[in-house]
Amino acid sequence: MVVELKSGVYWVGYVDWNIKQFHGHEYSTHRGSTYNAYLIVDEKIALVDTVWGPYSQALIDHINEIIDIKKIDYVIANHAETDHSGGLPAVMKHIPNATVVVSEKGRESIPGHYHEDWNFKVVKTGDSISLGKNSLVFVSAQMLHWPDSMFTYLTGKNILMPNDAFGQHFASSSRFNDEVDTVEVYQEAIKYYANILTPFSDLVIRKIDEFKKLNIPVDIIAPSHGIIWRKDPLQIVSQYYEWAQGKNDGSAVIIYDTMWKGTEKMAQAMAKGLEKEGVKYKLFNVAISDRNDVLTEIFKTKGILIGSPTMNNGLLPTIMPILEDLKGLKFKNKVGAAFGTYGWSGENVKLIEEILEKAKIKILQEGIKFKWQPTKEELEKCVEFGRSFAQKMKAV
Ligand code: FEO
């Protein structure tokens, strides 16, 4: 259903209750998602972003509920990723002469996706387009999270449309943050930040500082996924600022994989050690856990203990995806250590420590490994390992 944000500004997107795997199968979306597009009716008419291609007709139907789609003058493509630009070809069939507004990098990436020679207008930070009473002002958000990413601000209505930033994969029958369970929304917002935006945290800080200096009024933040921030809209900006600084809750996670429970016994013994030192923790067998959820938990915490047996001179293949993510996401202010069992060659601890170094996670103590199944005495050593890790964690 079309929803009016402020007079003349409408949500015309699509609620996708059924998407459970995003980016192909890279990102789990347990709560579905939305593709938010906004229609602004002034003397000129603008559409800000579209929807994922399969839902183009729903977007077009929503637009036609308000105005004849042929009346659109401008289509703003804030970002080329297809969950937002996928509806462009279908929309542009109705308005082939409309202006497609893109960032400098969008001028490459939008045609790179659709290979159409639309009437493009390139804008950079500070450029504006008058719609009549109000204007659209553009701010480049390069690498937040693609080179083409751009924010659009509507003067007069004080609405910021920052595309992916401040969004969440959250399907709902409601459109606004004051109408939903905010605990659920924040869980999805932090997951989104942890899994997608973390590598760009320094840019997030710079962009927020830049925005604060502009001192522009913001009544509504309308991202391209999930709910729209209408009540106390800047709360999500403050929250991003905190996340970008890499603040953590002082707890730990133990992530491991195990073949015949030896490494798992070590993990559980280490958990006892953390507990004895009063450090809160969560324990994940990554082979049976949702990768994105575990990454979100790692994002929140300070300490990471990683365990794997040695297999074929390497680590268990099932633990590798999350370790690759740790290298790429480069979480800030984390400390870690390695452990695991082995049968003969025993490269596991060394390999995990190499990954920790590449992920810029400070190794707090030398890892431990035990041959075959750990003995009672060896498990006691694991408890002590957990204790000393906790003590060192609290000290840094
Ligand atoms: Fe929601 Fe970067 O696309």
Q: Are residues 240 and 140 both part of a single domain?
A: yes
* Angstrom distance (rounded) from CA 150 to CA 173: 27
- Among the candidates 197, 219, 244, a domain finishes at 244
Q: Residue 192 catalytic?
A: yes
What is the bridge-based pairing of β-strands 128-130 and 135-140?
Answer: antiparallel
215 shares a domain with 87: yes
Mean pLDDT computed over 38-64: 98
Q: Is the pLDDT of residue 321 over 90?
A: yes
Q: Whose CA is nearest to atom 3 of ligand 1?
A: 81
Average pLDDT over residues 243-248: 95
Q: What is the model's pLDDT at position 87?
A: 98
For residue 167, is it within any domain? yes
> Which atom of ligand 1 is nearest the CA belonging to 79?
2
Residues 372-389 have a mean pLDDT of 98
User: Mean per-residue pLDDT for 297-304?
Assistant: 98
Task: Compute the distance between CA of residue 49 and CA of residue 163 in angstroms, rounded to an integer.
Answer: 8
On whether both 108 and 238 belong to a single domain, the answer is yes
pLDDT (0 to 100) of residue 187: 98
182 plus 265 within the same structural domain: no
User: Is 115 assigned a catalytic role?
Assistant: no
Q: What is the pLDDT of residue 202?
A: 95
Atom 1 of ligand 1, residue of closest alpha carbon: 164
Does residue 376 lie in a domain region? yes
Whether residues 259 and 384 share a domain: the answer is: yes
Exactly one of 27, 35, 192, 240 is catalytic; name it. 192
Catalytic residue among 42, 145, 169, 281: 145
Residue nearest to atom 2 of ligand 1 (CA): 81
* Separation CA 251–CA 266 (nearest Å): 19
Mean of the pLDDT values across residues 270-298? 98
79 is catalytic: yes
Q: Is residue 27 part of a domain?
A: yes
Ligand 1 is surrounded, with C-beta below 6 A, by: 79, 81, 83-84, 145, 164, 224-225
How close is the Cα of 162 to the center of ligand 1, in Å?
11
**pLDDT tens digits, residue range 217-235?**
999 999 999 999 999 999 9
CATH of residue 29: 3.60.15.10
State which ligand 1 atom lies nearest to the alpha carbon of 164.
1
- Boundary residue ending a domain (190, 220, 244): 244
Check residue 214 and give its pLDDT: 85
Q: Say whether pLDDT at 315 is over 90.
A: yes
State the total domains in the chain: 2
DSSP H or E stretch at residue 34: strand 33-35
Strand (E) or helix (H) holding 325: helix 320-329
Contact 333, 364 (CB under 8 A): no
pLDDT per position as a tens digit, 180-214: 999 999 999 999 999 999 999 999 999 999 988 88
Ligand 1 geometric centre to CA of 47 (Å): 17
pLDDT of residue 292: 97
Tell me, rounded to whole angstroms, the distance of Cα 195 from its chain centroid: 4
Last residue of a domain, one of 218, 244, 270: 244
Verify whether residue 94 is a known catalytic residue.
no
Residue 337 main-chain phi, psi, to 5 deg: -160, 165
> pLDDT band at residue 25, thresholds of 50, 70 and 90?
confident
Q: Say whether pLDDT at 24 is over 90.
A: no
Residue 81 catalytic? Answer: yes
Average pLDDT of the chain to the nearest whole number? 97
Whether 332 maps to a domain, the answer reads: yes
For position 317, which CATH number holds?
A: 3.40.50.360
DSSP secondary structure of 151-189: EEEETTTTEEE-TTTT------S--BGGGS-HHHHHHHH
In this structure, the answer to whether residues 40 and 155 fall within a common structural domain is yes
Any domain includes 396: no
Q: Reply yes or no on whether 62 is catalytic.
A: no
pLDDT at 333 over 90: yes
> Of residues 62, 84, 169, 225, which has the active-site annotation?
225
Residue 367 lies in a domain: yes
Residues 238 and 341 in one domain: no
Nearest to 220 by CA among 161, 170, 261, 307: 161
Q: Ligand 1 centre from 82 Cα, in Å?
A: 7
Whole-model pTM over 0.85? yes
Same-domain pairing of 237 and 258: no
Task: Examine the domain organization and report whether 114 and 148 are in the same domain.
Answer: yes
Whether 132 is in a domain gets the answer yes
The predicted pLDDT at position 306 comes to 98
Report how far Cα 137 is from the mean position of its chain's Cα atoms: 25
- CA-nearest of 311, 254, 318, 271 to 291 is 318
Q: Which atom of ligand 1 is nearest to 145's Cα?
A: 2
CA of 222 to the centre of ligand 1 (A): 14
Whether residues 200 and 284 share a domain: the answer is no
pLDDT at position 211:
86
pLDDT tens for each residue of 247-273:
999 999 999 999 999 999 999 999 999
Look at residue 152 and tell me whether its pLDDT is greater than 90: yes
pLDDT in tens, 65-109: 999 999 999 999 999 999 999 999 999 999 999 999 999 999 999
Q: Residue 23: is the preceding peptide bond cis (ω within 30°)? A: no
Do 236 and 321 lie in one domain? The reply is no
Contacts 24+ apart (CB under 8 A), 114-122: 114/85, 114/88, 114/89, 116/88, 116/89, 116/92, 118/88, 118/92
The boundaries of the domain holding residue 25 are 3-244
Q: Are 351 and 359 in contact (CB under 8 A)?
A: no
Q: Which amino acid is at 110?
A: I
Residues with Cβ within 8 Å of residue 141, at least 6 apart in sequence = 149, 150, 151, 162, 163, 165, 207
> Are residues 278 and 188 part of one domain?
no
Q: Of 164, 188, 297, 325, which is the active-site residue?
A: 164
